[in-house]
Amino acid sequence: MLLKDKVVVLSGVGPGLGQAIAVQAAAAGADLVLAARTESKLEEVAKLVSNLGRRAVCVRTDITVEEDRARLVETALAEFGRVDTLVNNVFAMPTMKDMSAVDVDFVRASFETNVLATLRLTQHCTPALVEAQGSIIFIGSAVIRHSRRTFGTYKMAKASLLAYAQSLSSELGPKGVRVNTIAPSYIWADLLKAYFSYLGSKRGVTADDVYQEISAQIDLRRLIEPDEIADVVVFLASHLARAITGQCLDVNGGEFHA
């Protein structure tokens, strides 16, 4: 019960990592304020949280809309009176084109959701987090560790998010708020499974063949699952990480050595 009676605001709730974070936080004793654009996803995850004996408040939220961001935080405070941890998990997939050919409008759209909207939501939460002496966790990406072709826009967004998190740690540390980033690599969930199946069909091999090819480049020889990343979120939100701030913790099975 590392998060017993804590209140966690979680953006980007979905069937993969968002769901895993909500469930693991609830299992650790937290109540959740869940934010996503799709109500059906929110309700599914809220039921899983309730089954663990914790409360889950659903707030349909488009993080790019100011009124939605404000309502999310207002609802959290109205329902629970506090916010102990904000988990910035929302993500919009950017265009996957070479930087020499990418349309700047696509870059701008990626930054609006992945960086600027996240910044604004965090600003809304900050007074409550200071009062609670809480923490902020950004879900980044291992894309910051490489420069593979077509990943440029993605890397720009996640690198900017990391820079923001590190600067925010210096600002909020004196006020008792910790700020950290998690950088996962491949996450073995439904979306990636479908992508591996697609890659396999294009090459005339199976999805398992693709999996084995990718995992052979990873020290643990396997891809990381959502629950394993969610466990790190729980750790960083807990008192066990009370001396950790301004850090980026790689969760990639040893694919990259930072």
**Containing H/E element for 181?**
strand 178-184
Distances (CA, A) of 222 to 20, 176, 195: 19, 37, 16
Q: Is residue 150 classed as helix, strand or coil in its secondary structure?
A: coil
Active site residues: 154
Strand-pair category, 178-184 with 135-139: parallel
Tokens of 224: 């990381």
Q: Note the helical H segments in 81-186.
A: 104-111, 118-132, 152-172
CA atoms 257, 115, 229, 176: torsion sign: positive
CA dihedral 203, 204, 209, 211 (to 10 degrees): 40
The one-character DSSP state at 103 is -
Cα–Cα distance for residue pair 107/235, rounded to 1 Å? 33
Cα–Cα distance for residue pair 98/95, rounded to 1 Å? 9
Q: Which residue has the tokens 């629970």?
A: 80
DSSP 72-85: HHHHHHHHHS---E
